[in-house]
Each structure stands twice: as structure tokens, then as C-alpha cells.
Amino acid sequence: MHLDNSLESLNIEEIVSFFSEDCEIILLDIKLEGKAGVRKWLKWMLTRLKEIRFEPVIIMVENNFFFEEFIVKAILLDGSEVESKWAEVLIYENYKIKSLRLYFDRLDFANSIIKGPISKMIIKKIIKESTKGLV
């Protein structure tokens, strides 16, 4: 809850304070380590987002493991809005985040980030092909 509030207020130093010195973050098949990795993740996020909000769907906690499925509602720097379903797994050690794994579909953001009709057509085709046979 406190982490979400800090993320929504885009308070970088407060966000970093929730993580252990030797933490790891894994997202988009990329592993970032330590507080430098946390800052790199936040810098990456802030170069794309003007505003972010979280709506919890389900939360499960067991010992030092935390799992959450949630909806991200974001406003990108160009003013476009994005909604995406995410999941996260956090492992805590000594009340600090030791490991954060984020799972989301990067294509949720593609239509808002990609410019130009040909690029948008390619993204639309990829999304359509990826669900072929399901819908």
C-alpha cells in the first residue's frame, strides 16, 4: 500500500527506500540489481508516464511473499491513456523488498507509444494473430 502510494506520487527516493541494497527487479525479461537498478527502472518508467494509478484485483500474502494482480491506469507523456492488467510477486527480507517480479503485456502500451499508420497496423496485426483461434 505504501509502495503503491509512493509510485502513484512518483516519489523516487521514497520508492527506493522500500528496497534492500541487494534487491533485484525482473520485468520484460530484464534483470536489474540493487538500488541502482531500482532507479533505472523508475527512470525508464518516468520517461514514459505522466501519471499512474493502481487498482487491486487480488492480493495474496504468505510469510514474506506477496502476490498481487492489479490494473494499471496510466497517462503517458503525450496525454494518451492506457489500461493494462499486471501481476507482481514481491519477496521481503527484513521489511525491505528483496525481489520484485512484474508481469504485463507490453503490447498494451504499444498503440499509445507507436506513431505512424504502418507501425500501428503492424501492432494491430500482431495482437490479432496472437489471439487467433481463441476469439
* 81 backbone dihedrals φ, ψ, rounded to 5°: -105, 145
Strand, coil or helix: what is 119? helix
Same-domain check for residues 97 and 110: no
Task: Give the predicted TM-score (pTM) of the model.
Answer: 0.86
Residues 74, 87 within the same domain: yes
Do 49 and 94 fall within a single domain? yes
Q: State the total domains in the chain.
A: 2
| pLDDT tens-digit map of 35-89 | 999 999 999 988 888 999 999 999 999 999 999 999 999 998 888 899 999 999 9
pLDDT of residue 90: 98
Beta-ladder partners of 52: 74
DSSP assignment, residue 36? H
Give the structural domain span for 120. 106-135
Same domain, 83 and 124: no
Q: Which residue has the cell 503485456?
A: 105
Residues 96, 129 within the same domain: no
**DSSP letter, residue 79:** S
Looking up residue 7, the CATH number of its domain turns out to be 3.10.450.50
